[in-house]
Every structure is written in structure tokens, then in C-alpha cells.
A and B are shown apart, each in its own frame.
Chain A
Amino acid sequence: MELLNVDSITMKFGGLTAVGNFKLKILPGELIGLIGPNGAGKTTVFNMITGIYTPTINKIYFQDQDITGIKPDKIAKVGIARTFQNIRLLDNLSVIDNVMIGFHLHLKSNLASAIFKFPSYVREEESIYHKSMELLGKVELEKFKLEKAGSLPYGQQRKLEIVRALATGPKLLLLDEPAAGMNPQETKDLMSFIQKIQDDFDLTILLIEHDMKVVMGICRRILVMDYGVTIAEGNPAEIQNNPEVIKAYLGVDVNYA
């Protein structure tokens, strides 16, 4: 049974079709890459899966449950987490708070017990704190726990955002250009980090990325989009030799070359 089933969805903004007839089935444990030139509609796909947009036509199913048009916080609750292309951290909150907020959707204490600090609430908060520190340890950010998230260097902000997504306890993780702005060494570390968290947290990952080394290196299946439609699908080798893909990226005819 597939984890996510995107059933040929279409997203229109007025007269513009940002995404047309997009189909995607993800099996548990997969690591799939979604690539394509700028403006191809990749992030729009993410926005539809996470409930920020509702597809104009057709539906999205997660574990056979229809999640089309459900609010983003409910989607987080069923087990889909994401990061953003332009990092969206809670800049003025501390690093540890940025991770602890990820556990908010699993919070059991009610408002009164939180305000008046009942023992049950204090225990829950402490356990959230320890879990958060453990997660921060995985990216070696423990020592920055009290720094403001916005003051971290760029690469560490990206890691923090991934850790925050992990804190929500997802089954499916959507990463939007995690390697953007990283140097070759950081990119290499990121690749092994993504594979490590996939094993550690038993995750299924869908990844948008422009850095072909990353995509070709860790994804076993790749989807290519251009102008809102899927133009190719297959393993890295197939994608690299697909004339449609080369055309989309380079804009030249393969026969001519």
C-alpha cells in the first residue's frame, strides 16, 4: 500500500495552470527526488500536499485517507512534515524553542495545567525538552540551544529546520531544496545526514533539489517537472539520458548536439 497517493491533481491560479495532472505514488521507505527548472511547479506540489493550497481538481490521499483541503496543522498531525526553500524558522525564539514547538501537536496537557504549571504539565514539558535536546544532538546544535534561531549561520539554520520537522514525528518528510546555499563539504554532510535520518526515523522522503550531485547521489527514483507537468520519471541513469529532461534543462535539441 502506498503512503502517499497524489491522484493527478491540478492547481490553477486564475488563468495560469501552475501544476497540471500531477501524479505521484510514494511507497513507505522511498527517497524520491523532484527536480525541474525554476518555476516548474515543484514547490506548488509541496504546498498542495501540506495543505497550504487546495488543488483545483482531484485529490491527495495519505495512507488511504483523503487529505485534500485539510488545514496544514491537521496534515502535520497525520504525519507529513516539511521544510521551506526560504528557511522559515522562528527567528526571535531560541534554538531549543524552535525544536520544542515541533512537539506541540502531540501535547496532552490542557491550557489550565500549562498556565498554573501542574506537575503533569511540568513532567510533559521536561520530557519534550529532553527529546528536543536529543534531536539537537543529532545535528550538533546543543551548544547553541539558547541562541536565537535567526542568529545561526545559514547552514545550521537549514539543519535546525529539518530537526524541527522531525520533532513533529512525521512518516513523510518533504525537503524543499535542503542543499541550497551550501558549500560542497556541507552538501556532502547533508547527503549522509538525510540518509541517516531516513534510517533512524523510519522515514519516507520527498526531496526538491537543484544540486544534481545530491539528487543523483541519494534518490533511487526521480521525477522531473517542467511548466507544471511531469516530463519524466525513472532512476538516476534513465533521467540523465532522457532527451526530454536535457531539453528542459539546456533548451537544445539532443539530435542537434
Chain B
Amino acid sequence: MKKQNEKILTILALIVLGILVYLAENNLDAYKLRILNLGAIYVTLAVSLNLIYGFTGQFSLGHAGFMAIGAYVTSLLVLPPYYKEMIYILEPLAWPFTVIHAPFIVALFLSGLFAAIAAFIIGLPVLRLKGDYLGIATLGFAEIIRIIANNIPRVTNGALGIKGIPEFTNLWWSVGVAIVTIYIIKGLIESSYGRALMAIRENEIAAEVIGVNLTYHKVMSFTISAFFAGVAGGLFACLLTTIDPKAFMFVMTFNILIVVVMGGLGSITGTVLAAFLFNFFLEYLRPIEAGFNIGPIKIPQVPGMRMVTFSALLLVVILYKQKGLLGGFEFSWKGFFQFINKLFKNKRSSEGSTM
């Protein structure tokens, strides 16, 4: 297939997606929209985590921290000044934050930028570590961010959190950001820089001896990953309209990690699929927590039962599909048409045999 045709098909697919978003925005109730929005935000989060973990092979558990930075930056920028005065009850908001104000899109961009700067500063020393040690260090970083947020009430309103954030996030924003994220990260991975990142994942010593600058490429990947996590954090804040430090505990990172592992390390298509499946199931499984009957056995009400079920599901996926639902598979138009061709051929040949 020609490159040109693929481009046209992609644009057509985007238009169809646009129509779907339009229909969803106008016809679905708030509850369903919330789930779809969360799904799209998870796409951004998980695709960005996949860049550093799945493609570069660096086990990073700091995503909740970058999200938190993004969420607070966006919140402080989009809240109207008069409203800020109202919610900072314990201690008044410190000076520059009382007056700064920016439109949503600028706030989102700055959210990403601040998360990226944090990633750059933390990444330079920390990315020398390998494997589990890197995981622990980045996890520590995320916890530090959360604890700082808890302890500077003059900026973050401490444990009370920020309430009444304007609900700017809708499907146009969340899906739009997800598409931009996929476009940029896919573009990176399919470039010679992406090849260098995967070389680091495959064999660090070999990559270095061939001439791949480890520090530059790791920090680059980490920083870009954090940028999108920050933007997603901003979207997250403007979807829930209320944030507090507890929202960015380790569980948040763990959820994103589940999505990445379930979808397949190193597969963007798998990540997108898993992000939506994760959020659908999280809601779909809600009745489990209320207690139910299996024949004569009565299962009592257990809060947190959803997560137990999820862990069990994750175990099953890891046992039977070590590489996640889609492994290293990636959607392409060529593959799509080959698949359809095969489907029809099988049909025809089976029809032929019955005659």
C-alpha cells in the first residue's frame, strides 16, 4: 500500500473518530462520559509510561508524581482568582499563585513542561540506576512529590486539596490529547531515535559500544514520558474537579502499570485497548463489591473486591500471555487489509468446500 493512501485512511479514521466523539458528547449521560474520559486520559498516561518502560526498558514508577505536578499546575492556573481566596481556608495562597491565570490549553502545556523539567532534574542522577533500583528511586520521587503537596498548604492547600476546579475536560480534550500523544510517541519510536531507545532496552552495553549515548537517550525518553504524564494530570484535575495528594498515591502508578503490562510492553495499540478495557471493567465490576450469591454460597460485601479481581485477571494475563494482550503487535493499515483479505479468503474457500 502506498504511503499516500495510508495517510488518507488515517485522516478518514480520525474524522470517523471525531463523529463518534461528537455523538458521545451529545447523547451519553455524565456517568458514561466520565468513564470514556478516564479511558482516554489513561491512554495518554499508559502510552507515555510505555515509552520509558516498554520501549526504553527503564522501570519507572514515578508516573503518579508527574501527574500530580501537572494536576496542581493546571488547577492553580485555571482557577479564577476570587475562587482561590475562598478555598484556601487554613492558610492563604502564596503570592504569585493568587494572581496567575491562564487558559486551559496553556495550563495543560505548562503542566507538561513542569513535569518534564522535574523529570529532567530527577532523571539525570536516577537513570544511572538499573532495573529494580530505578523502580524504587522513581517510586520514592513520586512519594516525595505527594508529601510535598501535602505539606505546602500555601500552594496546594495541603491535605484538603483543591476543590471546584472548572470542568474543562471533555472528550474533545481527552481524546485530542491522547491522539497527539500517540502521534508524537509513535513518531519517536519509528524514528532512528526510537531505534536507539529500543537498543538500550535490548542490550545496554551493546547499545553504548555502538555509539548510543545512554544518558542522553534515557533522559530524553524519561522527559518526554513525563511531559505527557503531566498533561494527563492536568486533564485529570479538570475532569474530577477536585484533587488532593491522596489521589496520587502509588495505586495510581500501579493502575497505569497494569494497563501497560496488560496491553503489552512495547505495543501502543495494546496500550490503547487495555486503557479503555481497564476503565470499563473497573466500573463493570463494581457490583462485585456489593456482595452477591453464587448458587447457595453468599459472598458478603467486600470493599476493594474489584482490585482483587483485577489482580487475579492480571495474573491470568501474565500466566497465559506473558507479553500482554497484544504483545509487540502494532496496528497498521497494511496489516488491517491483509487481515480482511484473509477473512474473506477463508470464507470463500469454506464456501467452496461445501459446494
* Chain A interface (Cβ < 8 Å from any Cβ of B): 50, 52, 71-73, 76-77, 81-82, 84, 88-93, 97, 100-105, 107, 109, 111, 114-117, 121, 125, 128, 164-165, 167-168
- Residues B220 and A111 in contact, CB atoms below 8 Å apart: yes
**A60 nearest CB across to chain B (Å):** 15
* Cβ of A183 to closest chain B Cβ, rounded Å: 25
Stretch in B95-103, B128-136, B192-200 with 4+ CB within 8 Å of A: B192-200
Interface of B is mostly: helix
Q: Which residues of B contact A92 (CB under 8 A)?
A: 198, 202, 328
When C-beta atoms are compared, the residue in chain B nearest to A110 turns out to be B193
> CA of A109 to CA of B195 in the docked complex: distance in angstroms?
14
Of all chain B residues, the one with the shortest Cβ separation from A90 is B202
A91 to B57, CA, bound (A): 14
* Chain A residues with CB below 8 A from B192, complex form: 100, 103-104, 107, 109, 114, 125, 128
**CB<8 Å pairs between A and B, sample of 15:** A73-B208, A76-B210, A89-B202, A89-B203, A93-B198, A101-B207, A104-B212, A105-B210, A111-B220, A115-B193, A117-B187, A125-B192, A165-B210, A168-B210, A168-B211
A72 touches B208 (CB 8 A): yes
| A90-B211 contact in complex given A109-B192, A115-B191, C-beta closer than 8 Å | no
Q: Which residue of B lies closest to A72 (CB)?
A: B208
Minimum Cβ distance to chain B for residue A18 (Å): 18
Top 6 nearest A-B pairs (CB, nearest first) are A105-B211, A76-B211, A114-B191, A88-B206, A90-B202, A115-B187
Chain B positions within 8 Å of A84 at CB level: 205-206
A88 to B208, CA, bound (A): 11
B210 touches A104 (CB 8 A): yes
User: Does B213 lie within 8 Å of A73, measured CB to CB?
Assistant: yes
A128 to B199, CA, bound (A): 17
On whether the beta carbons of A101 and B208 are closer than 8 Å, the reply is no
B73 to chain A, nearest CB (A): 24
Contacts of B220 in A (CB 8 A): 111
A121 cross-chain contacts in B, Cβ below 8 A: 191
Q: Which of chain B's residues has its CB closest to A124's CB?
A: B192
Residues of A within 8 A of B305 (CB): none
**B285: Cβ under 8 A from any A Cβ:** no
Interface of A is mostly: helix
Q: Do residues A101 and B195 form an inter-chain contact, with CB atoms below 8 A? A: yes
Q: Tell me if B214 counts as interface (CB < 8 A to partner A).
A: yes
Residues of chain A with a CB closer than 8 A to B14's CB: none
Question: Given contacts A104-B192, A114-B193, A128-B192, are A90 and B206 in contact (CB under 8 A)?
Answer: yes
Looking across the interface, which residue of chain B has its beta carbon closest to that of A84? B206
Question: Complex formed: what's the CA distance from A201 to B184 in Å?
Answer: 38
Residue of B with least CB distance to A170: B211
Q: Is the beta-carbon distance between B203 and A90 smaller than 8 angstroms?
A: yes
B209 located at the interface, meaning its Cβ lies under 8 Å from any Cβ of chain A in the complex: yes
Give the shortest distance, in Å, between B32 (CB) and chain A (any CB). 34
A78 and B213 alpha carbons, distance in the complex (Å): 14
Q: Is B117 an interface residue (CB 8 A)?
A: no
Instruction: Return B350 CB to nearest CB of chain A, in Å.
Output: 31
Which B residues are in CB contact (< 8 Å) with A89? 202-203, 206
| Chain B residues near A52 (CB-CB < 8 A) | 205, 209
